[in-house]
Amino acid sequence: MLLQQASYPRDENCMNFSAILLPLCLASALCFAETTPNTAQTAASKESTWHLPDGKFFETRYPGPPPTGGPMDQADLDFIIAIQAVSTPEEIAHATWMAGLDVFTFTGVLGPAFTEKNYPQTAAFFQKLGKTVNGPKNYLKDLYRRVRPCDAHPDLIHKLVPYESGYSNPSGHATRSWTFALVLADLNPPYKSAFLREAAAVGMSRVLGGMHYPSDVLLSRGLAQLIFEELKKNPEFVRDLEALRQAEWTPPPSLPAS
């Protein structure tokens, strides 16, 4: 088996891709004290995104993909070829499932009761977070225009997950999942490592699927960290996060038994 199961509790059908990851590397509530059960959901959906600095801010702090045809580009390509050659049907099926990323992809950490039905305000909050992340991610994609590996090398790289158009760097799935993991860790700090491992698995699933290079995923984690740090400076985001914490994360979702 190419990939190993994680040590933390998870669905027995889930495969963890993080073991082979390259080592390279809402508007505010009217009154927080008077938050009602629906306040977090209402605030999270009032605006489509939280404010972040403009694209130029991220451009000056983002290294960008390796040069086409250079040593790192070749290493990226060789890595995908290697893992696709030994991927199992179960791993491919799980990568396909992870392509539908949302916050409930983290059910492998929090257990089967962590669903949109049970946590509607969490669903609304992270839907808005995903839209917020897409702003700088799309700016950088359009700036660098790195062609997806399955498009650049169709004779070598297979499309093992549902195809998505657009450019390869940064990875939307990797950026969103890592940002989600950082916010989940803020809500439930003892499980930070488990959340990050699940996000790493999402990123690796995109490499296995032929949608992204390993360096796309690596750089996307750095972008997610930068986005998270900027959001934590935003008073509206901080208030919305605290409203969500009070509404559905005090205590956190029930964790599965070991």
Residue 157: pLDDT band (50, 70, 90) is: very high
Q: Which CATH number fits domain 80-248: 1.20.144.10, 3.90.550.10, 1.10.3720.10, 1.20.58.60?
A: 1.20.144.10
Q: Is 25 exposed, middle or buried (0-12, 13-18, 19+ CB in 10 A)?
A: exposed
The string of pLDDT tens digits covering residues 95-133 is: 999 999 999 999 999 999 999 999 999 999 999 999 999
Q: Is the pTM of this model over 0.75?
A: yes
Whether the pLDDT of residue 158 is over 60: the answer is yes
Using a pLDDT cut of 90, give the percent of the chain over it.
Answer: 79
Query: How far is the CA of 1 from the CAs of 4, 16, 87, 207, 240, in angstroms?
Result: 7, 11, 8, 17, 43
Averaged confidence pLDDT in the chain: 86
pLDDT band per the 50, 70, 90 thresholds, residue 17: very low
Q: What contacts 132, CB < 8 A, 6 or more positions away?
A: 49, 50, 52, 227, 231
pLDDT at position 99:
97
- For residue 47, what pLDDT is reported? 66
> Looking at residue 1, what is its pLDDT?
35
Four-residue CA torsion sign, 133, 252, 112, 110 = positive
Residue 5 — very low, low, confident or very high, per pLDDT cuts 50/70/90?
very low
Q: pLDDT category, 256, cuts 50, 70, 90?
A: low
Determine which of 27-41, 131-145, 193-207, 211-225 has the lowest per-residue pLDDT on average.
27-41
**For helices 235-248 and 120-144, angle between their N-to-C axes, nearest 10 degrees:** 140
Q: In whole angstroms, how far apart are CA 189 and each of 130, 200, 237?
A: 21, 17, 18
CA distance 50 to 237: 7
- Domain ranges within the chain, ordered by starting residue: 80-248
pLDDT tens, residue by residue, 28-87: 332 323 333 444 444 444 569 999 999 999 999 999 999 999 999 999 999 999 999 999
Q: Write the pLDDT tens digit of every residue in 184-205.
A: 999 999 999 999 999 999 999 9
**Alpha-carbon distance 216 to 174, whole Å?**
8
Rounded to an integer, what is the distance from CA 139 to the centroid of its chain?
Answer: 17
Contacts of 130 (CB under 8 A, 6+ apart): 102, 176, 180
Task: State whether residue 42 is helix, strand or coil.
Answer: helix
> Which range is least confidently modeled, 34-43, 44-53, 159-168, 206-215?
34-43
- Asked if residue 159 lies in contact with residue 87, where contact means CB atoms within 8 angstroms, the answer is no
Q: What is the mean pLDDT of residues 170-189?
A: 98
